[in-house]
Amino acid sequence: MYLPTIGLEIHAELKTRTKMFCACPNDPDKKEPNRSTCPICLGHPGTLSVPNEEAVKKVLKVGLALGGTLSKTSHFDRKSYFYPDLPKGYQISQYEAPLVTGGALNGIRITRIHLEEDTARLLHDDGFSINSGRPTSTWVDFNRAGAPLMELVTEPDVKNGDEAVAFARELQRILRYLGASDADMEKGQMRVEVNISIAKEGEGFGTKVEVKNLNSFRAVAGAIAYELARQEKLLEAGKSVTQETRGWNDKTGETESQRSKESAHDYRYFPEPDIPPLDLTKWDLETLQRELPELPEAKRRRFEIEFGLLPETAEFFADEPPYADFFEAAASELKEKLPATNYQRLTNYFTSDLQGLLREKKLEFADLKMTPEHFAHLVAFADEKKLSSRLAKNFLAEMLETGEDPETLIVKSGKRLIADAAELKGVVEEVVAANPKATEDYRKGKENALQFLVGCGMAKTGGQASPDALRSLLEEALGEQ
37-41, 133-137, 143-147, 400-404: the lowest-pLDDT one = 133-137
* Helix H or strand E segment including 297: helix 296-307
Separation CA 398–CA 289 (nearest Å): 43
Confidence of residue 359 (pLDDT cuts 50, 70, 90): very high
Q: What are φ and ψ of residue 212, in 5° steps?
A: -100, 155
The answer to whether the beta carbons of residues 201 and 245 sit under 8 Å apart is no
Instruction: Tell me the mean pLDDT in the region 167-172.
Output: 98
Which one, of 359, 376, 377, 367, lies nearest residue 400 by Cα? 367
Residue 433 pLDDT class (50, 70, 90 cuts): confident
Other CB atoms within 10 A of residue 172 CB? 23
pLDDT of res. 126: 63
In which element (H, E) is residue 108 found? strand 108-117
Backbone angles phi, psi at 459, to 5 degrees: -65, -40
Structural domains in the chain, CATH included, are 2-288 (no CATH), 296-413 (no CATH), 421-480 (1.10.10.410)
Q: At what angle do helices 296-307 and 161-178 cross, to 10 degrees?
A: 90
As a whole number of angstroms, the distance between CA 82 and CA 88 comes to 9
Best CA proximity match to 206, nearest among 231, 233, 175:
231
pLDDT attached to residue 448: 76
Neighbours of 425 (CB within 10 A): 12
Task: For the chain, give the longest Cα–Cα distance.
Answer: 99
Rounded Cα–Cα distance for residues 20 and 272 (Å): 14
Between these two residues, 251 and 130, which has the higher pLDDT value? 251
Q: Distance between CA atoms of 350 and 322, rounded to whole angstroms?
A: 12
